Amino acid sequence: MQELIKKYKTEVLSFKANSEKETESFRIKYLGKNGILNKLFNDFKNIEPSEKKEIGLLINELKNLIVSKINTSQSIKTTNSNNVFFDYTLPEKPKEIGALHPLSIVENKIINIFKLIGFNLETGPEIEDDWHNFSALNMPEDHPARDMQDTFFIQKNPDLLLRTHTSSVQIRFMETNSPPIRIISPGRVFRNEDVSARSHCLFHQIEGLAIDENINFSDLKLIIQEFVNRLFGENKKIRFRPSFFPFTEPSAEVDIYWGLKTETDKKITKGTGWLEIMGCGMVDPNVLENVKIDSTKYSGFAFGMGIERIAMLLYQIDDIRLFYENDIRFLKQFQSSHIM
């Protein structure tokens, strides 16, 4: 049997295909169902046990040689009636790889910054109930945020809605965890707004929450300044403007000085050089009491920002709708972007 295997080995080594048909005939002859290799394996069962090791190695060597010969054989393809040789061993054309969506890139950057300064990541459901989205956040039933023009309610169950902010995640977390608390909650939110270059009916937010003893507004300002320094650079100035949110008191809007160097700068800042990037404030004591946290012992701050707004700033994008159109020409621009 050894001599027969050596004979087949010599035939395989000398084989050279001149056409696809010859290569296929060679494959069937040796690897087909009734081929030489299967016959050798069947005969292998009947040989003496003392010879099995040596002959088994020879058969496997022959099999590998046959497969290698088929893979490296040249075939002739007919194209436009002309014979063209094609080497099947050539590497295939490189496949185009995808890239992270610009919103994912920015979200990851923001998350990583807050993780570095001690915040943990928490998420929650996009379909929320009235308590977690409104009531627990110090919003009475007649608050404007409950208006049907602002919120997508579930028709069959008026107590359910598409969340309008990720503050609902903070309520859920505070209900089951005791201070100290330091969390960020990214996610998609929904509001019944007209779609335009500056607004959309769905967008992404990241909100932060810190609850502990003796937390004050200075701590909030320090965290926000550190975030701005890490994301936009230490030369960026910020300012706090008084504002109102039902779940924080006092409340503020945070602006960053973007400058007026280009026409785009003038357009996105409306000629002022300043651009709002987030809202923030000290957590209202009523919110703490709603989740059974002692407001006489603990205090805290909260902040929230739109990821789209930050991405538009970082990449100088002037139309929010571009993020949702899946235009490959737009998305390809971010293939070289990386995560911090």
Which residues contact residue 71 at a Cβ distance below 8 angstroms, ignoring those fewer than 6 apart? 88, 89
- Confidence (pTM): 0.68
Q: Which two tokens stand for residue 185?
A: 């909650």
Q: Work out whether strand 127-129 and strand 157-162 pair parallel, antiparallel, or are unpaired.
A: antiparallel
**pLDDT tens per residue across all 340 residues of the chain:** 788 888 888 888 888 877 788 888 888 888 888 888 888 888 878 888 888 888 888 888 888 888 888 887 644 443 434 555 566 677 877 777 777 899 999 999 999 999 999 999 999 999 999 999 999 999 888 877 666 568 888 888 888 999 999 999 999 999 999 999 999 999 999 988 888 877 788 899 999 999 999 999 999 999 999 999 999 888 789 999 999 999 999 999 999 998 888 887 787 778 888 989 999 999 999 999 999 999 999 999 999 999 998 998 888 888 889 899 888 888 888 876 554 4
Fold of 102-334: BirA Bifunctional Protein; domain 2 (3.30.930)
Q: Which two tokens stand for residue 291?
A: 């989740």
Burial of residue 10, with CB atoms counted within 10 A of its CB: 0-12 exposed, 13-18 middle, 19 or more buried: exposed
172 backbone φψ class: left, alpha, beta (φ>0; ψ -120 to 50): alpha
Which residues contact residue 43 at a Cβ distance below 8 angstroms, ignoring those fewer than 6 apart? 1
Q: Give me the sheet containing 157-162, strands edge to edge.
A: 127-129, 157-162, 153-154
CA dist., res. 195 & res. 237, Å (int): 31
Q: Identify the residue whose tokens are 């010859």.
A: 22
Q: Identify the residue whose tokens are 């050894």.
A: 2
What is the full DSSP assignment across 69-122? HHHH-EEEEEETTEEEEEETTSPPPPPPP----HHHHHHHHHHHHHHHTTPEE-
What is the full DSSP assignment across 246-278? TTEEEEEEEEEE--SSSHHHHHHTTTSSEEEEE
Burial of residue 114, with CB atoms counted within 10 A of its CB: 0-12 exposed, 13-18 middle, 19 or more buried: buried
Neighbours of 88 (CB within 10 A): 12
Domain ranges of the chain: 2-87, 102-334
Q: Identify the residue whose tokens are 């208006």.
A: 147
Which pLDDT score is estimated for 338?
52
